[in-house]
Chains A and B, each alone.
Chain A
Amino acid sequence: MNFINNITRVTSLLGIASLLLAYTTNVSHSGSNPNPQGVNKMKSGYHWATAPTREMQDDDFSNPAFLWVDIGSEQWTTKDGEAGKSCASCHSGVETMKGVAATYPKYSAEDGKLRAVQHQINNCRTQQMKAKPWKWESDNMLGVAALVKNQSKGMPIKVKVTGEAQPFYNKGKKSYMLRRGGLDMSCKNCHMDYTDTRIRANILSNGLGNGFPTYRLKWQKIGSLHRRFRGCNKNVRATPFKSGSDVYTNLELFLTAHAMGMEIETPSVRN
């Protein structure tokens, strides 16, 4: 913050130059960033987490989500399916996954729609390994998804929302704005209109996915972003969609694009 304040001070000394700077910065943002509020205003849920929760996340040894990352590491080298292969047979070390998760959800020409990391993992299992797909919320899926995303920890989110991804992004956006359930509320009503505002015991965050799968103290385990979507749907008395459904995957792209440039935190800890 001090650093930023100092920069502001210096640039304001430069007078007109600073205006020009601000102008060009805005222009360059508008091309790549679909978030109308500006990427700098978006904050990770970490910002609103309590100090003990943050500490738990900050230290890999106290972060309980790493129990699942360990399950993921074990699965990475475990052969399964008729092809007799493990992930490592084709991808060697998991560090080859560095940066991959930052680009998901991603359009797949083969499927003609988006793939979240979990869809890609199951695609490799069924197509490449001739193994059974994992259930979305199974320990193995959560573990491998967390392991793959953890390879991109600290890297900026960089999803594609143009070209073939655009119609799916648009659907996700529409879905985000749509009121649902007995309480007739949209995601926007809470996470955009009232960010930083107390709603009973919670303070509303931007509702982003950059830390998922996340260890939730309430769940006493790690869970997927789609599980969180189901929870937010049910809280407004709406019938949730299935995890891995097109609706949630499109919504995931919208949220992820919303957090464009933000660092991936997986696995995060939340209350």
Chain B
Amino acid sequence: MSYRLILGAIVGVAVFSSLLASSNAHDYIVVDDTIPVSLTGVPGDPVKGKKLSVNRKKGNCLACHAMPIPEQQFHGEVGPDLSGVGSRMTQAELRLRLVNSKALNPDTIMPAFHKVALNRVLKKFKGKTILGAQEIEDIIAYISTLKS
């Protein structure tokens, strides 16, 4: 399915703001299939980003993706191998993919990491995004170093 077509057909540029006023979700602007501007304006830290990608309570990217992190056992096979993803995708593309993958593929299993979910969310997680804005920037900084 061509998500470019759908997104392009709708508006080209759309502003998304968080549904809950009390949430920690930052506003951002989607342009085609990217979010061109950093969510925080503070450069991401790739060392923190790597840790967040592994951490099961944070990104937990390894649950679904193989990554060049050999010291970790059992990499998932649900999504594509992220080795080389820094050569395939720009930071702006990675940002939309991480913030809200459903904007690209509504049926995807990949969580929208910076969007507040609303259906029967456990109390502990209510009104919160999975990753904070700076955490998203840290992970982008890390995975864009994964060059092929």
Contact = CB atoms under 8 A, between A and B. Distances in A.
Contacts of A181: 117, 119-122, 125
A197 B66 CA distance: 12
Contact of B122 (A199, A201, A237): A237
Interface stretch (A102-110, A120-128, A183-191): A183-191
A234 interface: yes
A11 to B, nearest CB: 34
Contacts, number: 70
Main secondary structure on A side of the interface with B: loop
A201 to B, nearest CB: 4
B69 to A, nearest CB: 13
Interface string B59-80: 0101110000000011111100
B78 A182 contact: no
Contacts of B107: 193
A198 B75 CA distance: 8
A197 B74 CA distance: 12
Nearest to B116: A182
Nearest to A201: B74
B111 interface: yes
A179 interface: yes
Given A197-B78, A198-B76, A198-B77, A189 B109 contact: yes
Contact of A184 (B60, B62, B119): B119
Contacts of A189: 109
A200 interface: yes
A238 B109 contact: no
A183 B117 contact: yes
B119 A180 contact: yes
Interface string A162-194: 000000000000000011111111000110011
A181 B120 CA distance: 5
A188 to B, nearest CB: 9
A30 interface: no
Q: How large is the interface on A (under 10, 10 to 19, 20 to 34, 35 or more residues)?
A: 20 to 34
Contacts of B64: 199-200
Interface residues of B, number: 24
B127 to A, nearest CB: 10
A239 interface: yes
B78 A178 contact: no
B52 interface: no
B121 A182 contact: yes
B77 A178 contact: no
B136 interface: no
A201 B75 CA distance: 7
Given A183-B111, A190-B109, A237-B125, A200 B74 contact: yes
A182 B112 CA distance: 9
A200 B128 CA distance: 24
B59 to A, nearest CB: 12
Interface in A1-19: none
A178 B119 contact: yes
Interface in A228-242: 233-234, 237-239
Nearest to B130: A182
Interface string B88-126: 000000000000000000010101100001011111110
B117 A184 contact: yes
B122 A238 contact: yes
B111 A184 contact: yes
Contacts of A233: 120
Contacts of B117: 179, 181-184, 237
Given A179-B119, A190-B109, A237-B122, 4 more contacts: A182-B122, A184-B111, A198-B76, A200-B63
The 8 closest A-B pairs by CB, nearest first: A182-B125, A184-B117, A201-B74, A189-B109, A200-B63, A198-B77, A180-B120, A238-B120
